[in-house]
Structure 1
């Protein structure tokens, strides 16, 4: 009987990480999740989005006017409130960045954002909360470890010229 109990306990410890890694599974409601919706409200301009957090990078996505982009993620447990995602928004030669999800500020399971030239607006059923664009490097959670935005540039750097390890600079 004790062996059966030990197997059940061991199995439950093995399944918990699997459930946590299953980010897209909707049936596990006890895992805190958030979904971010971003709508391009720039008139006649395509919007390029690059969103990431400290660990993950969603890559680049381009939206036509009126188009939406959605992504989801697992948030920190309810008592920590430290999940943060930021995005670089680019259109017609301009670039702006904004912390699209700061758990201390947003704390929603579905957040819909409308992207405008003046700034991003968070959509609610009864009103909009509009924000100013952030300056480069400025993040909502000042005083804590800043997120790196060094690789959010749209332009790619040229590759480094490499030499063999045994090279002394002569042929």
Structure 2
């Protein structure tokens, strides 16, 4: 009987462990949209990368989008950060941080004052209500 209980406990632990690993390895989708229309009709230059991947430089017109997908690593340290540049401004933002972002569809809009994520869970209309300021340590105003 003790052998059966021990095996049942081991099986349950294995099931819990494999479930958490499967969730960690689900593909994540990130979309970035240029919403700089408030500052005029401005193109947005985006450059996203992680420790392992450089996704290259993209130039987005107003309402233009850039999308990428990836699978987070097993140890929950996956992070993608992007630089954003438009006339007179250069900003940085952590567009995905596995320790903080649990979204599988991470849709972002870039505004002059902040970056806002689509809130799937709390807004039935899918509004971009989760807004975050630019990274403080890397915010720069470019002098022309």
* Rg (Cα) greater in structure: 1
**1:20-50 deviation per Cα after TM superposition (whole angstroms, max 9, x unaligned):** xxxxxxxxx9942111000100011100000
Shift of 1:136: 3.8
In 1, Cα distance between equivalents of 2:97 and 2:25: 18
Question: Does residue 83 of the first structure (1) align with residue 83 of the second (2)?
Answer: no
- Which residue pairs with 2:131 in the alignment? 130
Three-state SS of the structure 2 residue aligned to 1:105 is coil
RMSD: 2.1
Match of 2:27 in 1: 33
Cα displacement (A) at 1:59:
0.7
1:65 alignment partner in structure 2 = 62
Please state which structure has a larger fraction of its residues in helix.
2
Q: Which runs of 5+ in 1 are unaligned?
A: 1-28, 139-171
The number of aligned residues is 109
Deviating 4+ runs (over 2 angstroms): 29-32, 135-138
Question: What do the CA deviations read for 1:40-90 (whole angstroms, capped 9, x no partner)?
Answer: 00011100000000011001000000111100111123xx22110000000
| Distance of 1:34 and 1:122 partners within structure 2 | 14
Correspondence for 1:110 among 90, 98, 105: 105
| Structure 1 residue 93, shift from structure 2 partner | 2.6
Would the alpha carbon gap of residues 54 and 93 (structure 1) be closer, same or farther in structure 2, given more than 3 Å must change? same
Uncovered stretches (5+) of structure 2, i.e. residues with no partner: 1-22, 140-144
